[in-house]
Structure 1
Amino acid sequence: MASAPQPQLPLFYKDLLPLNSRDHADWKVGTMENAAFLAETHAVPLTSDEFIDAQRHFPIVFTAGENPLPIALFGLNEGVNTFIGDDKKLVSEIYVPAYVRRYPFILARLHQDSDEMSLCFDPTVSVVGKHAEGVELFDAQAEPTEYTKGVLDFCRRFEEAGQRTKAFMDELGKLDIMMDGEISITRNDEPDKPFVYRGFRMVDESKLRDLPTEKLEALIKNGMLVLIHAHLFSMNLMRNIFQRQVGMGLLPTPDATVN
């Protein structure tokens, strides 16, 4: 079974195999017992479709660089995830980004010169394999089961959401309302030693307010203004993440880069 071409694997994925009825006719999918693959990830990709749900749980910021993308912050420092317990499981009360729910499956191009995408999976995860128990991937006629069809549909919808996210980010770029982010957090017991976080992008509220009326009205009509406000509201959760790290005994770095 040949792996799919992978010049650079996405976050979490260590290898990719295209799912097919020839090689995986009798393979099954078990239950993901924990989220160990996520345990040392402090920032997870997010689609614009998810802003409303995610903003209640995580700060939503944008990556630095020429092509910024939205991310949900699970921690303020590299390798720190404040929503993973000692049992390597996600805490139950949070919204789980679609990027995480999709794993270990993904739609990927098997040939770089083709736009056709195939359903693949990470074979290094034992949850997918030749198991005695689990959900079947193919039926007796070597056709995809309802489970597999559902996975494929979810991955397709994720890709579509990715396109909408790109359009959203392109529009933010045209409006020129982004700025380099900086958050300063102080502890009550050390008010003279602020913890400063940089290395991310965010919407500049003053630039947003100064947009011409017609552009603001356009943002209202196309739904972007609601998403922008969700991002801005979520920034208040930076202190929550900070406190979660402190509670875990993982005192954040005083001057850190979030990326």
Structure 2
Amino acid sequence: MSTQLLFYKEPTVLEKDKHADLTFKREGSYSFASAMNSAPLAGVEFTQACHDHPILFVKNEKSGFIPVVLLSLKKDSHDLGDDWGGKYVPAFIRRYPFGVTPEGAIVFDKEAPHFSGGGDAIFDENKEPTETLKQIVGFLRSVDTGYAETEEFCRALAEKEILQPLNRALKFGEQQVNLTDLYRVDEAKLYELDEKELHTWFKNKWIAWCHSHLHSLAELNGVAKRHMDALEAQAPKAE
């Protein structure tokens, strides 16, 4: 999960000798992620994200499944705007324009507007990390830790066969959108866990994550409404 750099135009390893004069300016726009209709999510984010987005699972080779927030019913865009209208923004997107390689090196998107001038220095006069860079690295490490914990959670879900296909169709007049290749927790199977397993799942916060996921399914209505509003906005106006 953490190694995907989907919208980075020129990911570059951050080096103090090469980038001693680099400055970073925070941006309030998430326009770089405008082509996404879903985004990976860490389990630790579930309790916040569940109030704004449906959290679902998709198949993944590494851990069997990964959780994602469904942003749109469109193939390659969403209707949240560049500022997301106050909706929760996953760490997968918030970490941009920085990231981490599988080897643990910090990278940044050289083409991002965040580095076009002004803002905070990344390195001090001795080429040591500034407080700004330390905070960024701390955030990136916490994101990676969250993804590792989530992979363990997903392996447990797959091992216990607790996920089932969503099997949901949404109708918009004569148009129907079938939600395929998406999975949800089967509550009945969740509570077939024995006492020892339940203790482990509670301790790891996996039960809480499952409940947040189930709560989030009501937000499919919000995604459907945004889709309907977009269709109506595109419809020809009557003369």
- Distance across 2 between alignment mates of 1:35 and 1:170: 31
- Distance across 1 between alignment mates of 2:100 and 2:42: 16
Q: How does 1:163-182 map to 2 (within 5 A)?
A: 163-182=148-167
How far off is 1:9 after superposition? 5.4
Higher normalized helix content (fraction of residues): 2
- Distance across 1 between alignment mates of 2:184 and 2:144: 24
Q: What is the CA RMSD across the aligned residues, in angstroms? A: 2.2
Is residue 185–residue 239 contact of structure 1 (8 Å, CA) maintained in 2? no
Q: Indicate the residue corresponding to 1:242 in structure 2.
A: 224
- Distance across 1 between alignment mates of 2:59 and 2:154: 13
How far off is 1:230 after superposition? 0.8
Aligned with residue 156 of structure 1, among 141, 147, 158: 141
Identical positions, percent: 27
Question: What is the DSSP-based 3-state SS (H/G/I as helix, E as strand, rest coil) of the residue aligned with 1:168?
Answer: helix
Q: How does 1:1-259 map to 2 (within 5 A)?
A: 10-66=5-61, 67-84=64-81, 88-91=82-85, 93-109=86-102, 116-129=103-116, 131=117, 133-187=118-172, 190=173, 195-249=177-231
- Which residue identity is paired with 1:71? V
How far off is 1:169 after superposition? 0.6
| Aligned structure 1 segments of 4 or more residues deviating by more than 3 angstroms | 192-195, 209-218
Question: What is the DSSP-based 3-state SS (H/G/I as helix, E as strand, rest coil) of the residue aligned with 1:69?
Answer: strand
- Distance across 2 between alignment mates of 1:222 and 1:105: 28
Question: What is the DSSP-based 3-state SS (H/G/I as helix, E as strand, rest coil) of the residue aligned with 2:105?
Answer: strand
Question: What is the DSSP-based 3-state SS (H/G/I as helix, E as strand, rest coil) of the residue aligned with 1:63?
Answer: strand
- Distance across 1 between alignment mates of 2:65 and 2:41: 12
Of stretches 53-62 and 219-228 in structure 1, the one that deviates more from structure 2 is 219-228
- Distance across 2 between alignment mates of 1:90 and 1:193: 26
How far off is 1:248 after superposition? 2.0
Is residue 178–residue 202 contact of structure 1 (8 Å, CA) maintained in 2? yes
Is residue 40–residue 80 contact of structure 1 (8 Å, CA) maintained in 2? yes
- Distance across 1 between alignment mates of 2:232 and 2:83: 18
How far off is 1:207 after superposition? 2.0
Q: Which structure 1 residue ranges, 5 or more long, are not aligned? A: 1-7, 110-115, 252-259
How far off is 1:127 after superposition? 1.4
Q: TM-score, normalised by structure 2?
A: 0.87
How far off is 1:60 after superposition? 0.3
Q: TM-score, normalised by structure 1?
A: 0.81
Question: What is the DSSP-based 3-state SS (H/G/I as helix, E as strand, rest coil) of the residue aligned with 2:183?
Answer: strand
- Distance across 2 between alignment mates of 1:117 and 1:236: 37
- Distance across 2 between alignment mates of 1:250 and 1:198: 24
How far off is 1:105 after superposition? 0.3
- Residues paired across the two proteins, number: 229
Of stretches 61-70 and 119-128 in structure 1, the one that deviates more from structure 2 is 61-70
How far off is 1:10 after superposition? 2.2
Question: What is the DSSP-based 3-state SS (H/G/I as helix, E as strand, rest coil) of the residue aligned with 2:128?
Answer: coil
